[in-house]
Structure 1
Amino acid sequence: MSNVALFYVYRIVSRCYFHLPILFIFFYRQDLSLPVIELMLAAYGLVVMLTAKWNVKAMRRMAQPKVIALGECLKGLGLVLLITAPHPAVLLAGQIVCGLGYSLAAGTDSSLLRSLFEEGDQEKYRRTESSSASFMFLSVLLAGIVGSVLMESGMRIPFYLSIAANAVSAAVILGIREAGSSGSRTAPRAEAAQAAKPETGGAAARPALELTSGQRFWRRYYSLVRAFTLAPFVGFIPFLLNRTLNIGMLQFGLVLSLFTLLGFVSARYAVRVGAAIGENKLVILTTVLSLSSMLLLALSPHIASAALAVAVMGLASGGARPLAVGQLSGPGMKPAERTAVLSSMERMYGFWNAFLLVAGGFALDEFGFRVLMLGLAAGFLLVSAVSYVMRRTGSSAPHSVSGELPS
């Protein structure tokens, strides 16, 4: 099996998150309060934010497939901790380990995919990134439905299946061999060492990598769209469906699956649509769709409107990653540089996701679901507008990627 085929298999299996749709319910049944539940969910994003450069450091000692495999193993270990004991400290530890595993794997897999193509094959890489991302959504879709249904037979069954998927994913990714001679295969490690270790020779360390104003915009775009859609999907909409509307688990899984179904369609065709109508128009369209879904949930919290809102939210969210990754993983980048850029993108997403979950948990507990969604809509509109203004007025001067929270 070719490297690209193995990569497709990895992305499909690694996104078999059987436990993800029912994670909120799992925490809720541990008799945790709403703010504590959202803190548990936010811990995952905080770890992603704080450890976003660890994959670059790991590449100093091992090849990219091994870094990803390590991440998958940690994700599985985190899930084991979640189902080991209902104590809050153990649950928090599980979320932390899961977040660390995701942090190691998330930016590295796109960097690995880019390294499998020649520098002149940028368009082929972008098509493969978009296509594999769409299959990721399809995998999440089917796994989410199965996990929701199986939860009625046993709370831990979806977690067992997710752990098995992590083990298979680690084995599959280790089958990929990076292109080039044995000497070139060690290059990513040397480049990672250079990226992770600041240069000396002056009073201040030089930045490892610099981004233009346009690249910073795409990083913000991905982070904001994904955070403002995934935070409700993971932390707030399950509360609406399970605790307010009191629907059955099959309906619960089907409604949430609309997010990944429309996300699959969006990821599959985002690059093509962007090329046809212009990426700027597509960015505006996805922003409007995201905002509309939040308002629909706030103004009409019923099963039909919730299903429609979840579908629209998935449509807006799905294409964000292939669009942003295609813009940020340009030709001429070294593997460690691509990993650093994509990791900084995930770090920014982790910050926004954690912030929204924590703030949203308190808002949900104090003011209710409608006020929460109206607040999310207003916040998303504000930060998106600021991001667009920064893009139009920002200079083309480069900006360094560092361990700090990116702007």
Structure 2
Amino acid sequence: MLKEHVADERADQVGQGSLDHVLTVKRIREVVESGVGFESQLAEIEALAAYRGGNWTPLVERLFRPDRPTMFKLARTLTFVPTSRARSVLDALEHAIASRYLTRELISATGADGSVLDLSFASAQWRTTVCAKDQPGMLVRRHFEAMVFTYLVEELRCGDVAVVGGEDFGDWTSMLLPWERVEPQISLSCQQAGLPATADGFVDNLRDQLTMIAQAVDAGYPDNTDLAIDPTTGVPSLKRREGAERTASAAALEAELDRHLPARGILENLARAAHWTGWWHRLGPLSGSDPKLKDPLARYVITALTNGSGLGATQAARHMSALSAHELAAIAKRHCTAKNLARAGADVVDAHLDLDLVRTRVGSGGRRDHDGCRRRQPPR
């Protein structure tokens, strides 16, 4: 009887454990399906697994996804041209635009003309992410699109790709003088610059200069105690140079500077600048009446620090107990406008230009009035 009772208890425990396992799996399935789904979760896990190896490129597609329609719309609206002979990025962009309506995970790496896309512009990490591991000649569509637009932005930034009719990203080569106007001036320009006027002469001159510099460096290496070259790898390295001991006059100068220029906080400096320049008088209610604030100078200075640093009213109130977040937001909204802030800034600039050292450097330069217009300094 005892053995049968123990067997029944073990069976109940096993059954209860199996039931708990089933309920747990069911709950996990419900959570995943109610969220982003199994495919998205798997893609995120794969991206994080790849990132563990130092490859951050699988994470870009997730950030690119919300702006994908806008990016393709811009790519179809604007006309891109290369500023050099290399156009592999634009070829990849055309392939991405042609495949934008496809929903399958993999797309072919062959372009419309039957040639294989040149992905040499991409880094090894991007090619590892974009190229399908199990199917050679196929590309992972979503990662390929993110890679193409990432490199398109970089090409636009460095000027290798231009936008036809654009101002900021226009074709800089169109601003160059035509060769017919440049060729007659080559000899004179090279003569003034002290350079050979022919291509072979320019190369020979540059080679001679580099050779002379290399010989001078080699000759001075034995006496250069800061430079060391590893005899095994040949890698040069600079030794850390120890500074000389400070002289008594240097220590006395530092002490004197600290006495005349004590360290002050940002808020203290803002308050001093507001007191001496009076820029805070430019702020006030939109009606033009006097501010009904207790100690308006201090409150305007704290508001200027809050908004100028990008800290925001909520975060500033956590670090400064003088004002609440509601008070800071109300002052910024009701007492600060673009016009009176510009005039307050002009007061600070004018006061800075009145300093003796600045006036000595500026010389006969101009100043700006409170409306932002440039005016000449009065004669001294």
Same fold at TM > 0.5: no
More RCO (CA 8 Å, sep 6+): 1
The structure with more helix, counted as a fraction of residues: 1
Larger radius of gyration: 2
Question: With structure 1 as the length reference, what TM-score do the two structures score?
Answer: 0.18
More strand by share: 2
Structure-2-length-normalised TM-score: 0.19
